[in-house]
Chain A
């Protein structure tokens, strides 16, 4: 079993990305949408971290903030030890060479009117790598490295299937030898049988190139397959973080609990059927709007474990067991109960 990419971590030499109390706001100053509301994280070289949450929780914005595609309101981002929060011009471009992005919709992220080979060469051109012939050669290599035939370089995006297009997106991201790849829901638009192919490709590339991933996704099972560490986001904040196998077996935040129990899973489904009704936790209500400030714990209106304290006191993110952080007043209790019931009962 691949335990937290140990082999990969040996190669690593410290922190690649660090974020301190990052805030990204949108809209009007008087009533801003707090898309990212004080997130701190750190990512090691060669590590892959999963960012999990529902739509509107700020996970995509967080990824875009690292790329400096949105303006940061407050806080700072360090990449390889350098503050990149306010980089401009040539410095920003040089930095972006080290961080690349893969998007959810491989069709929307490729220009329909230029051949895919040229789309890859364009990245090299922008970053001034090689002459025309070299760029062409490099594009062919990249194409092969993601499992596509370089004969197809002259074709247009519509001539490829969804999975192939996603491979092209990956090849393009790899073109400038980045250190970090931000993958924003890279497989959620793909068919099940194709998803695994892409996930396996991402894992292979990581092993070969020592890449780091920030893997943004809503599918917990997919994240588990790729990531060493998980961060769960809710309304612009991290509510739980830690090693994947730890969190999935012993969640310490009610939101994580609910997310895990809501995932439709073959094994779980069959078990629930055998034993009558399952013990699924169904949350009340919708994800609230990030415009309105919720007093106390932001999750309390939907929480199945809510108590009086949650309505008034904001819980801080604290370490509740070695390496596991939770923003719940009653994290210890939840850990206790999941240990007792042994609910997911594997690790």
Chain B
């Protein structure tokens, strides 16, 4: 029991992040729970607007308040309540213990500062007394940027997309975080560059022993990288479990639909089915199970009653009334 406790890095319990006014909120994240253990890779999968990025930001209490507000639930980082933290320890934690990389490196890098300076920024802030130049060079080497002595004086626009993302990763790793949150880290990159960045993230993770929360819509990516997976839909985790289990035997119609919607390299017989309709508007969520209007297995109960988060087996959950029948 104690060992397991020590193993848990982050625990999210019934997290609710809403936007707008408390009287008429948009429920972006509405009761999300999961854990991340030390050194493991956990994936948060879902389509645009499902709340995956907001969940990720909430881990370090980074959702802008207002318009956002935390309507309930807890985020525990090594047992400490992040949402209730005072500004100073919160600042200590951000970038130092938890750091982020985002989809579009051009948007995350400041165009008027040199790469080296931007990487050194968190070193100067969090790790007083280190030799910033030497450490920056080491980081650039670590993420595989060639000629680091020259490149550290380059401006972001002088680097290619792949190199910019490497620079972002270097920045995120500057303080050797325990958790790296990667929000669609390869979506904006070309396929061959994607492969490079994934390879890099994998090897860095092993080298540094950090945990990674991978946020993506790409199930193919998850299949190769993540240990565990949480599938999100309309602000909730609808299915979770070991990647292999979830992807080979989905226990929620949404997961199943997503898997059937992805064209495979091997080609497919006949037509792909996909999922009818589109992602619901978070301002007007359907009654009962929020997936029911798009679900091929829906019955009357789905419209009326919201399914509970039922345990399928140890560590495996599904929010579907009929998971047994899938």
Contacts and interface: CB of A to CB of B under 8 A. Distances in A.
Interface of A: 1-2, 54-55, 161, 163-164, 191-197, 199-200, 203, 218-222, 224-225, 244-245, 248, 258-270, 272-274, 278, 280-283, 286-287, 302, 344, 346
B96 interface: no
A266 B223 contact: yes
Contact of B270 (A2, A222, A262, A286): A2
28 contacts: A55-B190, A161-B279, A163-B278, A191-B47, A191-B48, A191-B217, A192-B219, A192-B262, A194-B278, A218-B190, A225-B263, A258-B195, A264-B218, A265-B220, A265-B265, A266-B223, A266-B247, A267-B223, A268-B223, A269-B223, A269-B224, A269-B225, A270-B244, A272-B224, A273-B244, A274-B244, A278-B224, A283-B195
Contacts of B257: 193
B274 interface: yes
A163 B277 CA distance: 9
A31 B43 CA distance: 46
Contacts of A164: 278
Contacts of B265: 220-221, 224, 248, 260, 263, 265, 267-268, 344
A268 B274 contact: no
A179 B172 CA distance: 51
Contacts of A270: 223, 243-244, 247-248
B192 A269 contact: no
B224 A263 contact: no
A49 B126 CA distance: 54
A259 B192 contact: yes
Contacts of B89: none
Contacts of B80: none
Interface in B265-282: 265-276, 278-279
Nearest to B267: A224
Contacts of A197: 274, 276
A33 B310 CA distance: 58
B212 to A, nearest CB: 15
Interface string B251-271: 000000111011111111111
Nearest to B160: A286
A224 B278 CA distance: 24
A248 B265 CA distance: 7
Closest 8 CB pairs of A and B: A269-B223, A196-B274, A269-B224, A264-B220, A262-B195, A54-B190, A193-B275, A225-B263
B320 interface: no
Interface residues of B, number: 50
A346 B266 contact: yes
Given A264-B194, A278-B224, 17 more contacts: A1-B267, A54-B191, A191-B47, A192-B261, A195-B274, A218-B191, A220-B191, A221-B262, A221-B265, A248-B267, A262-B194, A265-B220, A266-B259, A267-B223, A267-B265, A302-B192, A344-B266
B278 A193 contact: yes
Contact of A199 (B160, B163, B266, B272): B272
B199 interface: yes
Interface string B220-235: 1111110000000000
Nearest to A2: B270
A280 B198 CA distance: 11
B162 A286 contact: yes
B103 interface: no
A309 B320 CA distance: 60
Contacts of B266: 248, 267, 344, 346
A248 B225 CA distance: 23
B191 A263 contact: yes
B196 A263 contact: no
A197 to B, nearest CB: 6
A287 B221 CA distance: 22
Given A193-B47, A264-B218, A269-B220, A221 B263 contact: yes
Contacts of A221: 262-265
Interface string B186-227: 000011111110110000000000000000011111111100
A280 B247 contact: no
Contacts of A200: 271-272, 274
Contact of A245 (B217, B259, B267): B267
B75 to A, nearest CB: 27
Contacts of A344: 265-266
A224 B263 contact: yes
Contacts of B222: 269
Nearest to A203: B271
B105 to A, nearest CB: 13
Nearest to B190: A54
Nearest to B159: A286
A344 B262 CA distance: 18
A200 B248 CA distance: 24
A219 B192 CA distance: 11
Contacts of B243: 270, 273
B324 to A, nearest CB: 23
A302 B196 CA distance: 12
A244 B263 CA distance: 14
B141 to A, nearest CB: 16
B217 A1 contact: no
Nearest to B50: A191
Contact of B163 (A193, A224, A286): A286
B193 A286 contact: yes
Nearest to A196: B274
Contact of A244 (B224, B259, B267): B267
Which among B195, B199, B270, B294 has the greatest number of chain A C-beta atoms within 10 A? B195
Contacts of A262: 191-192, 194-195
Nearest to B268: A225
A264 B274 contact: no
A163 B49 CA distance: 14
B220 A193 contact: no
